[in-house]
Amino acid sequence: MLDLSRYQNLTAFNTAPFLGGCEDMFIGFQSDTLEVARLDPDLFKGLTKISLSSGTIPKTFASLLSADQVSELESWSKETPVQPLEKNKSKFKARSLNINVTQICNLKCTYCAAGGDGTYGDPVKRIEIEKTLPQLNYFISKLERGEHFHISFLGGEPLLFPAGIRAICEYVEGAAKEKKFVATYKITTNGTVINTEIIDLLSIYKPTLVISMDGKPEITDRFRPQKNNKPTSEAIEKTLAQLGKVRHQIGPLAVHAVFTKDHTAVLETYEYFRQFKFDWIDFIYSVSDLDETSNEKYMLEVTKTAKAAWDLGGEKELRKIYLFDNYFDRLDSQERLENHCGLGRSFAVIDSRNQVYNCPWTVGQPQDRIGSGSIMDESKLAGYAEETIIERNNCQSCWAKYMCGGGCSFVHQTTSKKDTLKKSLQFCERTRFLLALAIYYYAKAREETA
Q: What is the per-residue pLDDT across 257-282, written as a single tens digit (0 to 9) for each?
A: 999 999 999 999 999 999 999 999 99
Domain end, chosen from 280, 307, 333, is at: 333
Decide if 191 is inside a domain: yes
Q: What is the DSSP letter of 243?
A: H
Residue 91 predicted with pLDDT over 90: no
Same domain, 126 and 25: no
Q: 318-350 pLDDT, tens per residue?
A: 999 999 999 999 999 999 999 999 999 999 999
Residue 24 predicted with pLDDT over 90: no
Distant-in-sequence, close-in-space partners of 60: CB < 8 Å, separation ≥ 6: 7, 48
Average pLDDT, integer, range 221-239:
93
Decide if 244 is inside a domain: yes
**Whose CA is closest to 278, among 227, 317, 229?**
317
Residue 87 predicted with pLDDT over 60: no
pLDDT at residue number 450: 65
393 alpha-carbon distance from chain centroid: 17
pLDDT at residue number 103: 87
Asked if 367 and 330 count as a contact pair (C-beta separation under 8 A), the reply is no
- Percent share of the chain, pLDDT over 90: 78
Domain end, chosen from 82, 109, 124, is at: 82
Q: 132-160 pLDDT, tens per residue?
A: 999 999 999 999 999 999 999 998 899 99
Same domain, 16 and 62: yes
Q: What is the DSSP letter of 260?
A: B
Same domain, 74 and 114: no
Q: 97-111 pLDDT, tens per residue?
A: 999 999 888 888 877
Same domain, 69 and 211: no
Q: How many domains does the chain have?
A: 2
Decide if 386 is inside a domain: no
Decide if 164 is inside a domain: yes
pLDDT at residue number 60: 84
- Cα angle 105-110-112, degrees, rounded to a multiple of 5: 50
CATH number at residue 263: 3.20.20.70
**Whose CA is closest to 64, among 42, 86, 80, 81?**
42
Same domain, 271 and 295: yes
Same domain, 112 and 70: no
Decide if 346 is inside a domain: no
Q: What is the DSSP letter of 85?
A: P
pLDDT at residue number 139: 96
Average pLDDT, integer, range 232-240:
96
Which one-letter amino acid corresponds to residue 411? V
List the domain range (segments joined by +) for residue 20. 3-82
SS3 for 238? helix
Which one-letter amino acid corresponds to residue 147? E
Q: Of the given ranges (33-42, 111-120, 317-326, 353-362), which has the lowest mean pLDDT?
A: 111-120
pLDDT at residue number 325: 98
pLDDT at residue number 116: 65
Asked if 64 and 133 count as a contact pair (C-beta separation under 8 A), the reply is no
Same domain, 48 and 153: no
Same domain, 108 and 217: yes
- Percent share of the chain, pLDDT over 70: 97
Same domain, 267 and 130: yes
- Residue 185 pairs in a beta bridge with 151
Decide if 171 is inside a domain: yes
Domain end, chosen from 82, 109, 136, is at: 82
Asked if 126 and 101 count as a contact pair (C-beta separation under 8 A), the reply is yes
Decide if 340 is inside a domain: no
Residue 90 predicted with pLDDT over 70: no
Per-residue confidence band for 55, with pLDDT thresholds at 50, 70 and 90: confident
Decide if 363 is inside a domain: no
pLDDT at residue number 59: 86
Between CA 67 and CA 45 the distance in angstroms is 15
121, HSE (Cβ side, Cα atoms, 13 Å): 6
Same domain, 185 and 311: yes
Average pLDDT, integer, range 56-60:
88
Residue 31 predicted with pLDDT over 90: yes
Residue 117 predicted with pLDDT over 70: no
**Whose CA is closest to 100, among 169, 163, 156, 173?**
156
Residue 162 CB coordination number (10 Å): 20
Per-residue confidence band for 77, with pLDDT thresholds at 50, 70 and 90: very high
Residue 288 CB coordination number (10 Å): 12
SS3 for 118? coil
Average pLDDT, integer, range 302-319:
97
Residue 316 predicted with pLDDT over 70: yes
pLDDT at residue number 147: 96
Average pLDDT, integer, range 291-313:
95
Same domain, 42 and 162: no
pLDDT at residue number 236: 97
Per-residue confidence band for 121, with pLDDT thresholds at 50, 70 and 90: confident
Quick one: residue 226, left, alpha or beta (phi over 0 = left, psi -120 to 50 = alpha)? Answer: beta
**Whose CA is closest to 279, among 250, 258, 306?**
250
Asked if 212 and 224 count as a contact pair (C-beta separation under 8 A), the reply is yes
Q: 168-212 pLDDT, tens per residue?
A: 999 999 999 999 999 999 999 999 999 999 999 999 999 999 999
Per-residue confidence band for 25, with pLDDT thresholds at 50, 70 and 90: confident
Same domain, 138 and 67: no
388, HSE (Cβ side, Cα atoms, 13 Å): 19
